[in-house]
Amino acid sequence: MIFLVTGAAGFIGSNFVDYLLTDERNDIFAIDNLDDFYSSDIKKENCRLFQNHPRVHFEKLDINETEAFQRSVSRFLKCRNALSKRRIHIIHFAARPGVAQSFTTPDLTNKSNVIGTRSVLHIAKIIGASTFIFASSSSVYGKLGSVPFHEDLNLGEPMSPYAASKVEGEILCSSFAMENKNCSVRVLRFFTVYGNRQRPDMAITKFARTAISNQQIVLYNNGNNYRDFTHVNDIVEGIHLVIKGSIAGFGVFNIGSGGSIKLEKLANLVVNHLASKSKVIKQKAIKGDMIRTQADISKVKKLGYAPRIFIEKGVKTFLDEYLSARVIEAEN
């Protein structure tokens, strides 16, 4: 199969490319603009392992450079002799993530997440993709009061420009599906993802960094936020199952763990596991933060999805790997 992966140098994208490479029938066209949301050195390191792989063609490219994007994809498909023979799946991860940052740079969020998604959908139409996967987010559930969130719920008011950009992306995908009836368009709502190569701006990475240096860990909303944390290996497996089980048309799936943990408990877990002297301090809620997320995963379970790594165990493995990576870094 042929896979076009956008945002391939990012946290989830690079894990997904690694997963695809475990099946030798897969050829991958991977792009990323290595944007400055966080260090491009981390992104370069993320794709270092697959960049020179014979079954991967990686380009530093912005999804909004539609013409260049189209030219590169066509060249790739021609050279793989793929246009008429092999099914093409597009997995669209590229986006500017981050709820808090989207308040300060809403135009950048809109450009990558909304205009960029339109551009990738345009490419999907031109090349006749059989599958289009859109990486959406639990943030689209917005101000809904009660959990777990089921896909059929009417969405609550988006609480940030980031959440709004994901709602818009979903709408673009749904209207694309109405016009392109042979394509299987799937919106996947990921719930807070963690694991190997996790973004530096995310809670667990921040807690780990602060705990290692025995500094104060800040918890917003007095530590009373709850999150459904999903291990990246479960996310990758979920995406694979959705692609495998997909038929033409539009569909929305939550991919989460199905559980939820209080951030205060998570912070204590990190502090204890690292035997840190950090104190946890509580502050008021910040703009855009949802109080609680928890996925109803009954729909994706019907495709065979069963999360394997739960937060209490997953976070310890993450911390052990994080610590050993720092030791290796210090030694070099």
Ligand X SMILES: NC(=O)c1ccc[n+]([C@@H]2O[C@H](COP(=O)([O-])OP(=O)(O)OC[C@H]3O[C@@H](n4cnc5c(N)ncnc54)[C@H](O)[C@@H]3O)[C@@H](O)[C@H]2O)c1
Query: What are the tokens at 290?
Result: 């949802």
89: contact with ligand X by CB under 6 A: no
Closest CA relative to residue 64, chosen from 144, 6, 125, 141? 6
288: contact with ligand X by CB under 6 A: no
Binding mask 114-133 for ligand X (x = CB under 6 A): --x-----------------
32: contact with ligand X by CB under 6 A: yes
Nearer to ligand X, 64 or 180 (CB): 64
192: contact with ligand X by CB under 6 A: yes
Q: Give me the catalytic one of 38, 141, 162, 322.
A: 162
Indicate if 162 belongs to the active site: yes
The one segment of 35-43, 70-78, 172-180, 244-252 that binds ligand X by CB under 6 A: 35-43
The one segment of 21-29, 75-83, 87-95, 310-318 that binds ligand X by CB under 6 A: 87-95
Name the minimum Å distance from CB 81 to ligand X.
26
Alpha-carbon distance values, 156 to 90, 139, 142 (Å): 28, 9, 5
Beta carbons of 127 and 165 less than 8 angstroms apart: no
Nearer to ligand X, 166 or 278 (CB): 166
The C-alpha angle 153, 159, 163, rounded to 5 degrees, equals: 75
Identify the three-state secondary structure at position 266: helix
Q: Which of residues 101, 109, 110, 112 is near ligand X by CB under 6 A?
A: 112
Which of the residues 211 through 250 are near ligand X (CB under 6 A)? none
Beta carbons of 217 and 280 less than 8 angstroms apart: yes
Binding mask 137-156 for ligand X (x = CB under 6 A): x-------------------
Tell me the residue number closest to ligand X, measured at CB.
10
Beta carbons of 190 and 12 less than 8 angstroms apart: yes
**Beta strands 230-231 and 88-92, pairing class:** unpaired
What is the widest separation between alpha-carbon atoms in the chain? 61
| 143 Cβ contact partners less than 8 Å away, ≥ 6 residues apart | 156, 157, 159, 290
The H or E element that residue 169 is part of is helix 161-179
Which residues are at the interface with ligand X (CB under 6 A)? Answer: 6-7, 9-13, 31-35, 37, 43, 62-64, 93-97, 112, 116, 135, 137, 190, 192-193, 199
